[in-house]
Each structure stands twice: as structure tokens, then as C-alpha cells.
Amino acid sequence: GENVEQHPSTLSVQEGDSAVIKCTYSDSASNYFPWYKQELGKRPQLIIDIRSNVGEKKDQRIAVTLNKTAKHFSLHITETQPEDSAVYFCAASKGAGKSTFGDGTTLTVKP
């Protein structure tokens, strides 16, 4: 089955710096790659997603890049703010709605 590895497991940055989280997947048939943000004690919520026919997608301070050849995708957060502190999960899916999640990255933004 699909295997998704996510790095780093923890990331600490200064407010205003950029943060990058990377994920690799094993199944070349995967074609949908969402990112979820989970604040402490809350539910995971979608922040951005990308499909395999697109190499990059941006939404304000958040961007995701996809390299299908290397089978990896990354989340980029620019101008980080304290409210960006959360656990971020990547996921990979190849259909039937089912996704395989990475183990998560705990991002801490220091004011």
C-alpha cells in the first residue's frame, strides 16, 4: 500500500521566517495531495491541496510544490505568524477518497 513519510517531525522558526515541510510518497499512482492543519485540541482542517497535473499552487502565504518524478511534495509557509503554530499533516491519495497521512510536523513560531 501507499507509504507517506513526512519531515521534519518538529520545526521551530522565528516569526517572519519561512517554514518548509516535506513529504515523500511511494505509490506513483497517487494523484491528490492535501495538507491539513491541526491546532491543539482541534480537528484537522484542509489548508491547501494539489493534484498531479499541477506542479505548484499558492494561496496567500501558503504554497505547495509537487515533484512527481521524485515522488515528493512540500508545504511552504512564508512570513510565519504565531497563529501558524500547529501540527501539519500531508496526505497522498490515488482514488476512492482514501488518503494515507504522514505522521505530522509540529510547527512552533516564536514571537
Out of 26, 28, 42, 56, the residue judged to bind other proteins by CB under 8 A: 42
- Least separation in angstroms between CB 64 and other proteins: 13
Say how far apart CA 40 and CA 82 lie, in whole Å.
13
The yes or no reply on residue 110 touching other proteins (CB under 8 A) is no
The yes or no reply on residue 31 touching other proteins (CB under 8 A) is yes
Number of other CB atoms surrounding residue 1 within 10 Å: 6
Say how far apart CA 110 and CA 108 lie, in whole Å.
6
The yes or no reply on residue 44 touching other proteins (CB under 8 A) is yes
Out of 14, 69, 95, 111, the residue judged to bind other proteins by CB under 8 A: 95
The yes or no reply on residue 11 touching other proteins (CB under 8 A) is no
- Least separation in angstroms between CB 32 and other proteins: 3
User: Does the CA dihedral 26-30-34-38 come out positive or negative?
Assistant: negative
The yes or no reply on residue 96 touching other proteins (CB under 8 A) is yes
Positions in the binding site for other proteins (CB under 8 A): 1, 6, 31-32, 34, 36, 42-46, 49, 51, 89, 93-104
